[in-house]
Structure 1
Amino acid sequence: MATFEELKINKSILKALEEIGFEKPTPIQEQAIPIIRSGLDVLGIAQTGTGKTAAYLLPIFAKLVKAEGEDPRVLILVPTRELSIQVGEDIEELTTYSNIRHAAVYGGIGWTKHADMIKPGIDILVATPGRLWDLYKAGAVSLKKLKTLVIDEADRMLDMGFMPQIRQLLEIIPVKRQNLLFSATFNESVEEMSHEFLDFPERIEIAPSATPAQLVQQCYYKVPNFKTKLNLLQYLLLDEETFSRVIIFVRTKENAESVYKIIKRKAEGQKRILHSNKGQNTRINAINAFKDGDIRILISTDVSARGLDVSMISHVINFDLPQRYEDYVHRIGRTARANNIGEAITLVNPAEEYHLRKIEKVIRMEIPMKEIPAEVEIPPTPKPENQEQLREIDRQKKLEDPTFQGAFHEKKRRPGESRNKPTNAPKHLSKTKKFRKGRGSR
């Protein structure tokens, strides 16, 4: 394996890498750095937690060398504000001994604040598509000097519907430039995107698409209902030493609030909650506190599944399975980072078993099951929740077999009742005849 020195990384950057504790390049870095430095377009497929961000940042620093001019020479497009902040922090950390300037911009706060950050001059701009377009229309940023375009988390960009904004961007940036596209998963949509944005790219794929990090130990528990999930979660979090820093992923903000109310009362240590209704500053402060170790438990929807780079997360707990199967990889990739071992635990109710099987196909491995500990109370499933699960299972069966009628297709019959009405059944008397018959018999 090559060293950072052999990859011809700038001395100022080498000094920062040494202080951070990066001793040797990761596989994606070792392969990507020389190719990016050569000026070729790159399509990089690498799972989360493999050092993908540094794989494109380090050669970019080598090409920039030092601060120059006022307009950005590098644009890094990211899908979320959290990832924009994270990449900005990575640049800040790696350029400690360099005068390379940067700004990270994103929605959720006034654009004038970001315009003030850009005005003195920058070399690298990290931006979400919407905020970049705000700044461009306001005349706060010029992209005429752009030499390198990076599209990070391309799969997420597509899922969030950013293609129209990216196409608009291509009309205003220089045609002659280097393009780098990175994605944790590779599907037909990402392939089409690569054809549109890249010219004869070098493809680098460190692991098959949607492969979890090797140091993540995975397991799941079969739980019958929501209440049992809460009880099991409480039981697991009692072990403060083992579960030292935990992210709990939920599907909806309503579930996030429900879990938070229980955890807040029952589990030790500081806890915070992240979802789309939380203000920008609240979310940033919670993430920073989690990174600093001030928070033991972070409860989040998928809004922070990417862009949260914390090296010592002991556990990821999937309270609910994600809506997109690839997001399972991104979720569990929050642990086992920087060569640390981590554990991913998933709680699966009967209606979610179908999705678990689909996830196993995506990641090409079987996730082992654990038995619920005897100490965990397993209450009966309430009728409304049971009905909801049965309807969801019916829906899943119809997806697999369109001819499937479903448990809720026919009206339920009484025990012993025939499917068809007998043809010789007597006709019912009208109310009038019943009434007259009754009077006549008195």
Structure 2
Amino acid sequence: MSLEQLKLSKPLISAMTAAGYLSPKEIQARSMSRILGGQDIIAVGPEGCGKSTTYVLGVLMRIKYGFEEAPRALILVPSKERVLEVVEQFNLLNRNASIRIIGIHADGGMEQQINEITDGVDIIVAVPSRARAIYLKLGLNTNKIQMFVVDDAAEMVRSGMQLPINELANSIQKCQHLIFTEVMHDRLYKMIDPFMKLPTLIEVEELNEKQAETHTQLLYHVPNFRTKLNLLNLLLKDEEVFDKVVVFVNTRLTAQTLSKDLFDGKAADVFVYKPLFFDEAGFDAIEDFKEVAEARVLIVANENLPSLDLTGIPFIFHFELPEQKEIYLNRVVKKQDDGDVVAITFTTDLELPTVKKIEQAIGQRIEIADLPEGLLVEEVNKTASQKKKLTQAQVEEEAHQDAAFHKRKESNTKTTNYGIGQKAIMNKKKKHG
């Protein structure tokens, strides 16, 4: 497909060609006609698939002239860095000198930003909190907004930005809404549902063409931390299968907490790697854990963790996903003579973007396992007395945070009928042969 088939203006095609874009990405080919037609869309795709360029082109096509009395496009992004990146992308592709574009973030002076807006602007790229603050000071007129764009929407939810996004969306009487995100999940749906109008969902996947050779991986999708704990308790009850296990969490404090919560802290075979307190049951060396037969479970924090030799450990659990995907990849990509390993990951909605980055890197989807029978799936809510202390806005925000996980798409569902015990046994023939 050529750039001309996107039905862009000649100046935009010229700018794209000059910037090195010779053909459109899949997400642009599938969504541009809908954007130009004024439809609401939800575009889902991995990092680097062209989401930002897509809405930059769409906004520049729909806002063809400048010097209106109020902004006509409001684009919300999660950070100052993203503000600067998106403004740079607009400046790279915009050949119309009359269109005025400014970036708004928390590091700038608010009065100066208000003056810039009231002096005249056509496109605003902003972080939600600062845009909301300026709106509340009557410095942002949303009456002329034609396009409302939320970029990196899953990251917005993870960072708790739902309230300012919804307030800004609700301040606009009628406009086109464009949502761009790496993943869709129930919490994100809850944020955008009040203002979206029959949106079209467009999803693209760009996995690495070369598949990495990995150990067996299984993914459990659960709604919250407490359900993760219940799931780990339930699985580890099978001492025959899970006879030697390393559980990874992100901080040493979480490791201590988990050691006390597992089996109500009464298990004599659960230990912490380099515990915070001298009187806690733990090991300072992974080799010592391997050699002690009575030690079955070792909880390890990713925080300031040197490289560990996991050779001989048949099961590794990622109770929490590390922020850097490379840490995870180093544990699941097969190395010479490291034996049979099953890598089991627990993820909530907020961790799904990291899962997508991992899948993109290894060139394959991680198999989703069915939640076992008997698992207690918990919803975490504040008590009535706590809620009385919140403002109505805070209560509404809390409702966005308390979400049950949504039904998976058919393409994401489990592809085999093997239970975790069966799968483990097949990968441990030397034990059960």
TM-score of the two chains, using structure 1 as the length reference? 0.50
- 1:216–1:98 distance in 2 versus 1, CA, 3 Å: farther
CA shift, 1:140, in A, is 2.6
- Whole-Å separation in 2 of the counterparts to 1:319 and 1:217: 15
- 1:108–1:329 distance in 2 versus 1, CA, 3 Å: farther
Residue matched to 1:143: 142
Residue matched to 2:222: none
- Whole-Å separation in 2 of the counterparts to 1:5 and 1:169: 35
Whether contact under 8 Å (1:16, 1:95) holds in the other structure is: yes
CA shift, 1:97, in A, is 5.3
CA shift, 1:364, in A, is 8.1
Cα deviation per residue 1:118-173 (whole Å; 9 max; x = unaligned)?
A: 34321111111101012222333221211111112222222222222222223422
Q: Secondary structure at the match of 2:7?
A: coil
Alignment partner of 1:199 out of 197, 200, 206: 197
Whether contact under 8 Å (1:41, 1:200) holds in the other structure is: yes
- 1:187–1:73 distance in 2 versus 1, CA, 3 Å: same
Residue matched to 2:277: none
When Rg is computed on C-alpha atoms for both structures, the one with the higher figure is: 1
CA shift, 1:109, in A, is 3.8
Residue matched to 1:420: none
- 1:138–1:195 distance in 2 versus 1, CA, 3 Å: closer
CA shift, 1:106, in A, is 1.6
Residue matched to 1:166: 165
Whether contact under 8 Å (1:16, 1:97) holds in the other structure is: no
| Alignment pair present for 1:82 and 2:81 | yes
- Whole-Å separation in 1 of the counterparts to 2:16 and 2:327: 27
- 1:201–1:323 distance in 2 versus 1, CA, 3 Å: closer
Residue matched to 2:52: 53
CA shift, 1:253, in A, is 11
- 1:334–1:110 distance in 2 versus 1, CA, 3 Å: farther
- 1:80–1:330 distance in 2 versus 1, CA, 3 Å: farther
- 1:158–1:17 distance in 2 versus 1, CA, 3 Å: same
Supply the AA of the counterpart residue of 1:180: L
- Whole-Å separation in 2 of the counterparts to 1:62 and 1:135: 27
- 1:18–1:99 distance in 2 versus 1, CA, 3 Å: farther
Residue matched to 1:91: 90
Whether contact under 8 Å (2:73, 2:124) holds in the other structure is: yes
Residue matched to 1:327: 353
Supply the AA of the counterpart residue of 2:47: T
Q: Secondary structure at the match of 1:126?
A: strand
Residue matched to 1:8: 7
- 1:104–1:363 distance in 2 versus 1, CA, 3 Å: farther
- Whole-Å separation in 2 of the counterparts to 1:255 and 1:188: 33
- Whole-Å separation in 2 of the counterparts to 1:214 and 1:68: 44
Residue matched to 1:190: 188
Residue matched to 1:114: 113
Whether contact under 8 Å (2:147, 2:176) holds in the other structure is: yes
What CA RMSD, in Å, does the superposition of the two structures yield over aligned residues? 4.1
- Whole-Å separation in 2 of the counterparts to 1:108 and 1:29: 32
| Alignment pair present for 1:213 and 2:239 | no
Supply the AA of the counterpart residue of 2:161: F
Residue matched to 2:28: 29
Identical columns (%): 25
CA shift, 1:66, in A, is 2.0
Supply the AA of the counterpart residue of 1:188: D
Cα deviation per residue 1:216-252 (whole Å; 9 max; x = unaligned)?
A: 7656799x9999xxxxxxxxxxxxxxxxxxxxxxxx9
1:229-378 to 2 correspondences below 5 Å: 255=304, 325-329=351-355, 331=357
- Whole-Å separation in 1 of the counterparts to 2:356 and 2:84: 17
CA shift, 1:316, in A, is 9.4
- 1:125–1:59 distance in 2 versus 1, CA, 3 Å: same
Whether contact under 8 Å (2:42, 2:180) holds in the other structure is: yes
Residue matched to 1:181: 179
- 1:91–1:316 distance in 2 versus 1, CA, 3 Å: farther
Show structure 2 runs of 5+ residues with no match: 217-245, 249-272, 274-300, 308-321, 332-344, 365-410, 416-420, 422-433
- Whole-Å separation in 1 of the counterparts to 2:353 and 2:135: 31
Whether contact under 8 Å (1:216, 1:332) holds in the other structure is: no
CA shift, 1:108, in A, is 3.4
Q: Secondary structure at the match of 2:6?
A: coil
Cα deviation per residue 1:385-408 (whole Å; 9 max; x = unaligned)?
A: xxxxxxxxxxxx9xxxxxxxxxxx
Q: Secondary structure at the match of 2:83?
A: helix
Whether contact under 8 Å (2:182, 2:353) holds in the other structure is: no
Q: Secondary structure at the match of 1:21?
A: coil
- 1:62–1:32 distance in 2 versus 1, CA, 3 Å: same
CA shift, 1:254, in A, is 6.6
Whether contact under 8 Å (1:43, 1:194) holds in the other structure is: no
- Whole-Å separation in 2 of the counterparts to 1:80 and 1:323: 24
Supply the AA of the counterpart residue of 1:45: V
Whether contact under 8 Å (1:16, 1:94) holds in the other structure is: yes
CA shift, 1:61, in A, is 0.9
Q: Secondary structure at the match of 2:180?
A: strand
- Whole-Å separation in 2 of the counterparts to 1:171 and 1:101: 24
Supply the AA of the counterpart residue of 1:165: P
Number of residue pairs matched by the alignment = 266
Q: Secondary structure at the match of 2:177?
A: strand
CA shift, 1:53, in A, is 1.2
- Whole-Å separation in 1 of the counterparts to 2:157 and 2:57: 26
Supply the AA of the counterpart residue of 2:183: T
- Whole-Å separation in 2 of the counterparts to 1:17 and 1:58: 9
CA shift, 1:73, in A, is 0.1
- 1:97–1:74 distance in 2 versus 1, CA, 3 Å: closer
Whether contact under 8 Å (2:44, 2:180) holds in the other structure is: yes
CA shift, 1:36, in A, is 0.8
- Whole-Å separation in 2 of the counterparts to 1:317 and 1:120: 49
Whether contact under 8 Å (2:67, 2:98) holds in the other structure is: no
- Whole-Å separation in 2 of the counterparts to 1:327 and 1:187: 10
Whether contact under 8 Å (1:31, 1:204) holds in the other structure is: yes
- Whole-Å separation in 2 of the counterparts to 1:96 and 1:363: 42
Supply the AA of the counterpart residue of 1:202: T
